[in-house]
Amino acid sequence: MNTSKIDVLFDDYTIKNRIQTLANFINEDYSDTSDVVLLCVLKGAINFFGDLSLLLDFDAEYEFVGLTSYEGTKSTGNIKLTTVLPDIKGKNVIIVEDIVDTGRSIEYLKKLIEADASDIKVCTLLDKPSRREVIIEPDYIAFQIEDHFVVGYGLDYNQKYRNLPYVGVARFE
């Protein structure tokens, strides 16, 4: 399967603008909170994490966790950790994710850290609510999208297209 075309869904300007708005909400919510950890879900959230974190005006530690579930354009439903789990004992964790699709990855990650973390919130660049299989409602969402397979700005198709500076819908032929 080859992508024949990628249609721009959100350009760089639109993404940056929306992330600023999201950061404003988060700054308000966390103005009195200490021990905050931004937990980046690798690899897809890396660009969102980088842009968002620089707009937060409170002290936040960085942690990273690798999760994998997709092959091509389908979630295998078989979620695996690809890194060690960071120590987030007693921390107020903000999970930073690229996209919440079936919700299974975030459900899995939340279960892994919920006993240790003081609080867990989920912040995602993209949300595809129509594909949800478990009850997960992200606390901060940059954009809700229809059931499209998207790439760019960190998101991949078989590890490709991550470094496109926009989010685009991949059309397959």
In this complex, which beta carbon is closest to ligand IMP, that of residue 30 or of residue 43?
43
In this complex, which beta carbon is closest to ligand IMP, that of residue 88 or of residue 154?
154
Q: Does 109 bind ligand IMP (CB under 6 A)?
A: no
Closest CA to 99 of 56, 55, 77, 132: 132
List CB contacts of 29: < 8 A, sequence separation 6 or more: none
CB of 100 to Mg ion, least distance (A): 9
Q: Does 3 bind ligand IMP (CB under 6 A)?
A: no
Secondary structure letter of residue 91 according to DSSP = -
Count CB-CB contacts under 10 A for residue 6. Answer: 18
Give me the catalytic one of 101, 127, 139, 156.
101
Closest CA to 126 of 152, 104, 107, 108: 152
Of 94, 95, 105, 123, the one binding ligand IMP (CB under 6 A) is 105
Q: Does 69 bind ligand IMP (CB under 6 A)?
A: yes
Q: Which does 150 bind (CB under 5 to 8 A by kind): Mg ion, ligand IMP, none?
A: ligand IMP
Do residues 153 and 140 make contact, with C-beta atoms less than 8 angstroms apart? no
Q: Does 112 bind ligand IMP (CB under 6 A)?
A: no
Note if 7 is an active site residue: no
Q: How far apart are CA 5 and CA 90, in angstroms?
A: 46
Active site residues: 101
The residue ranges that bind ligand IMP (CB under 6 A) are 44, 69-70, 75, 97-105, 149-151, 155-156
